[in-house]
Structure 1
Amino acid sequence: MTVDSQGTAAAAPQDAPGRAAEMPNTQKGQPPPSGPEEVLQPPRGRRSLPAGVLPYLLVAPALLSMAALLLYPLIRNVILSFQQLDRKEFITRETVWTGFDNYTKLLTDPDFWTVVVRSVLFTGANVFLIMVLGTGIGLLLNRLGKKMRLVLSLSLMLAWAMPIVASVTVFRWLFDEQFGVVNWLMRTLGFSGYEQHNWFETGLSTLTIIAVLLVWGSIPFVALNMYAGLTTIGTELYEAAKMDGANGWRTFWAVVFPNLKPFFMITTFLEIIWIFKAFAQVYAMNAGGPDRASETLPVFAYIEGVGQFHYGMAAATSVLTIVLLLAAMSFYFRLILKQEEEL
């Protein structure tokens, strides 16, 4: 390259194309490209699942387990309810189809309807006590200090965690005729006639003891969940109610209940299901006695099947029990759908 002015002028055009190639389009006054942006393609060898399939794959193991453990036995039980399977058929292994005879016998049996009414009343009384006492203890947990709340919570957890057979054994000892603590306490308080009082003499007294056991074992579930729900309610709502002059009862119905209405609904129906199908507590306490006067529907089905060798009749009883529970649950689902429509 020469140093004269012509050489300098001649060198400039040779370097210009290289610099122009390095300049972006925006600096050259040209608009950016309007074509579509480059889409990243997944690496070869990996295929993505269709949209919406992954959630079903994740819940498939649980659904298959429920089908194997619940659905298949339910179907077999329904089939068995249309058969006559007594001691003879059980030994000879012959299948005798009877249609709706088992259901007809049950629905026309006054003893069956006595057990149904007893089960409904027993469930209603227990659920009412559980919800009232559990709600009260939940409110108490919300008011206590940290140390007392911890002590009460641990006590509730211990009661809830106790095995059913162990708790039934403790209650039978408490109400024992000869060495029971309750008889000793009644005599200590000055009541007469409790030297060797039999608390399991009648069906009503037996069901009362079973109810105490069920309420004692169910309160922790309601109380702890109630306390957890109360922690979600803002303190400003309580302060506003206090400024309006609302007392404790009015604050509960105006602040607590509206905010925890879903909790009360689901907990109530869960307790209905749990109490209605309670079997171990009723049977282990007194085997449905005396004279089958404390039987509920699950115990009635068990005694008809295992005790009397009427397995077809027992299967029909269990199917009718499921129908009653479904009727109660349908009422719950109607409330849920109505609440969703209001929202």
Structure 2
Amino acid sequence: MVQTQVPTAASPAATAVAAPPDRRVGARDRRRASVLPYALLAPATIVVLAIIGWPLLQLVILSFQEFGRAQVFGRPAEWVGLDNYARVLADPVFWEVLGRTAGFAAVCVAITMVVGTLVALLLQRLPAPFRILLSVGLLLAWSMPALTTTIVWGWMFDTEYGVVNQVLRDGLGLAQFDRHSWLIDPMSFLGVAVVIIVWGAIPFVAFTVFAGLTQVPGEQLEAAALDGAGPVQRFLAIVLPQVAPILVIATILQIIWDLRVFTQIFALQDIGGIRAETSTLGVYIYQTAIAGGEFGEGGALAIITMLVISVASIALVRRMLRSDA
């Protein structure tokens, strides 16, 4: 009879089975796993610091200097500390422009998010051929350069030959819009600017929200419908909580873009607006630094604008993270 030898505690086989794992190998793997994300992010971080960080540092330095036209032609810049910031904050025109910019951005963001979300819901409901047609139209609107868009809309609101005045006067019988000038009055000027900016921003919001809507499980919507929930109830209870992070991110981006809008306002002012009564922060910075030659004050204005945008963005991000927790 052949007997099978069972490994004893002292045998090599038992020793090999009972030997604990090498802790040094596990520690090395953990260190590699913790370092790997930073190693992967390092190239992109270096590029961002080179492209964004260095100009931002130069802008901060410029905001603490007396830098005008004389310094452009070689005179050394004089350090003035916080004088540029003090002059900017003591200027009532700055606060008027800041309030106008905040109100203008709030209106643009609100209309863009509401209309963009409605267009996304429409894209979800439309049959495939009409969805493709609408998507192509949105892409065409989104791809047009801001300057070209502003010029086209300026022609549409032209006093003499604008199609808007013709439709309101001849189509709707509103005689008060005969040769009506939309860009002379500051409120109607900003209204035209809102139309231009919202028209160009809706496609981004619509496509972003539509991408989020495609990820909402259809089973949940069907179950809610069987339970008697209407379309509005299903949207508020199921769809909105799941696309809320996307809406917050889109809102943050719209706030950033609308607070620093420049091209549309500047081009409309060239067509017929009054600069002193219609400038936003982006145009005001240009007027101070480039047109006025006060680069130090312009740098201070740019830093203040960046801080305003950062505070608004951080507040929304913290609210989003708090709601997710």
Q: How far off is 1:208 after superposition?
A: 1.1
Match of 2:236 in 1: 253
Is 2:306 the counterpart of 1:331? no
Aligned pairs (5 A) from 1:1-80: 29-31=4-6, 33-36=13-16, 51=32, 52-80=34-62
Q: Name which of 200, 203, 209 aligns with 1:217.
A: 200
Aligned partners of 1:76, 1:204: CA distance in 2, in Å? 37
1:282-308 Cα distance to aligned partner (Å, 9 max, x none): 212215940421111111111101111
Q: Secondary structure at the match of 1:199?
A: coil
Aligned partners of 1:76, 1:28: CA distance in 2, in Å? 85
Q: How far off is 1:186 after superposition?
A: 2.1
Equivalences, count? 306
Match of 1:9 in 2: none
Aligned partners of 1:263, 1:31: CA distance in 2, in Å? 63
Aligned partners of 2:320, 2:110: CA distance in 1, in Å? 21
Q: Against the structure 1 CA distance between its residues 97 and 35, is the aligned structure 2 distance closer, same or farther, given a 3 Å change threshold?
A: same
Aligned CA-pair RMSD = 2.2
Aligned partners of 2:164, 2:321: CA distance in 1, in Å? 47
1:205-250 Cα distance to aligned partner (Å, 9 max, x none): 2211111111111111111121111111122222222233222222
Match of 1:238 in 2: 221
Identify unmatched segments of 5+ residues in structure 1: 1-26, 38-47
Q: How far off is 1:87 after superposition?
A: 2.4
Aligned partners of 1:338, 1:54: CA distance in 2, in Å? 28
Counting aligned pairs with the same residue, the percent is 37
Q: Against the structure 1 CA distance between its residues 28 and 220, is the aligned structure 2 distance closer, same or farther, given a 3 Å change threshold?
A: farther
Contact 2:165 2:177 in 1 (8 A): yes
Aligned pairs (5 A) from 1:72-91: 72-91=54-73
Aligned pairs (5 A) from 1:256-267: 256-267=239-250
Aligned pairs (5 A) from 1:170-189: 170-189=152-171
Aligned partners of 2:160, 2:190: CA distance in 1, in Å? 20
Identify unmatched segments of 5+ residues in structure 2: 8-12, 18-28
TM-score under structure 2 length normalisation: 0.87
Contact 2:101 2:259 in 1 (8 A): yes
Q: How far off is 1:113 after superposition?
A: 0.3
Is 2:186 the counterpart of 1:203? yes
Aligned partners of 2:52, 2:146: CA distance in 1, in Å? 22
Match of 1:99 in 2: 81
Detail structure 1 runs of 4+ shifted over 4 Å in the superposition. Answer: none
Match of 1:314 in 2: 298
Q: How far off is 1:92 after superposition?
A: 4.3
Match of 1:303 in 2: 287
Aligned partners of 1:103, 1:315: CA distance in 2, in Å? 9
Match of 2:104 in 1: 122
Match of 2:21 in 1: none
Q: How far off is 1:178 after superposition?
A: 2.2
Q: Name which of 260, 269, 274 aligns with 1:290.
A: 274
Q: How far off is 1:262 after superposition?
A: 1.0
Match of 2:23 in 1: none
Q: Name which of 253, 258, 280 aligns with 1:275.
A: 258
1:105-157 Cα distance to aligned partner (Å, 9 max, x none): 11111110000100110011011001110111111111111111111111111
Amino acid at match of 2:54: Y
Q: Secondary structure at the match of 1:216?
A: helix
TM-score under structure 1 length normalisation: 0.83
Contact 1:289 1:295 in 2 (8 A): no
